[in-house]
Amino acid sequence: MRWIIALTCLVGFLANSQEINIGKIENKIILGNLAGNRDLAFGVKNILEEVLQDVGYDLNPSSTQELTVDILFLMYKKIMYN
C-alpha cells in the first residue's frame, strides 16, 4: 500500500504540465471595418485560451512562456479587365 501511495505522488510530481501565459493581443489592422476593433482582439484571446487548454496547456500569468499575437489583415483588390 505504501508503494502505491509513493508511486502516485512520484508520478504526480514528474508529470509537470506545460504552462503558458497569453500576453498582449494587438490589432494592427489599418484599413477596413476591422481597423482598431478591440472586440476582435478580445475574441481572439478567448479562442486562444480555449484552444490552449484543450491541447493541454495550463494558463498561468506568471509563466515564463508567453504567447503574443499581432492581428494583421492583408486586403487585395480585384481588378477587372475589359
Angle at 75 between CA 69 and CA 76, to 5 degrees: 150
**Which pLDDT score is estimated for 46?**
93
Tally of domains in the chain = 1
Strand order across the beta sheet in which 66-71 lies: 58-59, 19-27, 66-71
- Answer for the pair 6, 44: CB distance below 8 angstroms, yes or no: no
In a domain, 32, yes or no: yes
Q: What does the mean pLDDT of the chain come to?
A: 76
**Which pLDDT score is estimated for 23?**
92
In a domain, 28, yes or no: yes
In a domain, 44, yes or no: yes
**Which pLDDT score is estimated for 55?**
86
CB burial readout 20-30, b (16+ within 10 A) else e:
bebeebebebe
In a domain, 46, yes or no: yes
Q: Which residue has the cell 509513493?
A: 6
- Domain carrying residue 62: 17-82
In a domain, 38, yes or no: yes
pTM equals 0.65
> From first to last of its 82 residues, what are the pLDDT tens digits of the chain?
444 444 444 344 434 568 889 999 998 888 778 888 888 889 989 999 999 888 888 899 998 889 998 888 766 666 667 6
Question: What are the beta bridge partners of residue 69?
Answer: 25
In a domain, 25, yes or no: yes
